Amino acid sequence: MFVALPIEQDESGPKRFAGACLHKTRCSTENICLVWPTFRSIKVNTDPKETRLSPTLLLLSDDKALARFVDGVVKSPWKLVWPDASGYMNREVFAQPNVRLVVLDDHAFKENDRGRLLAQIRKHFSCTPLLYVAGIQSDENEIRARTNGAQYYTSKPLSLERFGYVLQSFLQAAR
């Protein structure tokens, strides 16, 4: 379905609409009519590898061992994004395209910053699964993680075999 969109505008409002009105009449500026699209010849890239973005796993951690492990589990077509620890609250982190999975290691953050970071993750990646890795097991950490949308919660020391299996299953489901 296509909606008429103004393509010219001045102080008095829209002047023309893109497309042809289904009513075969000229639409007034107050009406929005369904239109047939008017196509022009546009070169479109049809290579699926170039037009489709790779699914992204966003890793928020300062633990190099965890990052190496996650990097070993993440395989093509997935892309791992592991920002610098100083940039976790930057807009660029939350502007990553096609984020399908977030892994958060809370050990990298002060207690006060964890809630804010989880709120930012929930705001920008509301439909994205969150795997929460706690630096220290506590009921408070788990409650905070679960109430902020974590689908999986674990604490360090990690069972790498189990965490790897869980991570692979989330990667397959989110693909």
Instruction: Please give the distance of CA 171 from its chain centroid, rounded to a whole number.
Output: 14
* pLDDT tens by residue, 84-105: 766 666 788 889 999 999 999 9
Tokens describing residue 79: 């892309």
Q: Which residue has the tokens 């096609």?
A: 98
Q: How far apart are alpha carbons 134 and 107 in whole angstroms?
A: 6
Kindly tell me if the per-residue pLDDT of 4 is higher than 80.
no
Averaged pLDDT, 128-137: 95
* pLDDT tens by residue, 117-129: 999 999 999 999 9
**CATH 3.40.50.2300 residue ranges for the chain:** 48-174
Tell me the β-bridge partners of 6: 17
Give the least confident one: 9-13, 72-76, 109-113: 9-13
Tokens describing residue 165: 């299996």
Q: Which amino acid is at 12?
A: S
Tokens describing residue 139: 């009921």
The CATH homologous superfamily to which domain 48-174 belongs is Response regulator (3.40.50.2300)
* pLDDT tens by residue, 18-67: 444 444 444 444 444 433 333 333 333 344 543 478 999 999 999 999 99
The pTM (predicted TM-score) of the whole model is 0.69
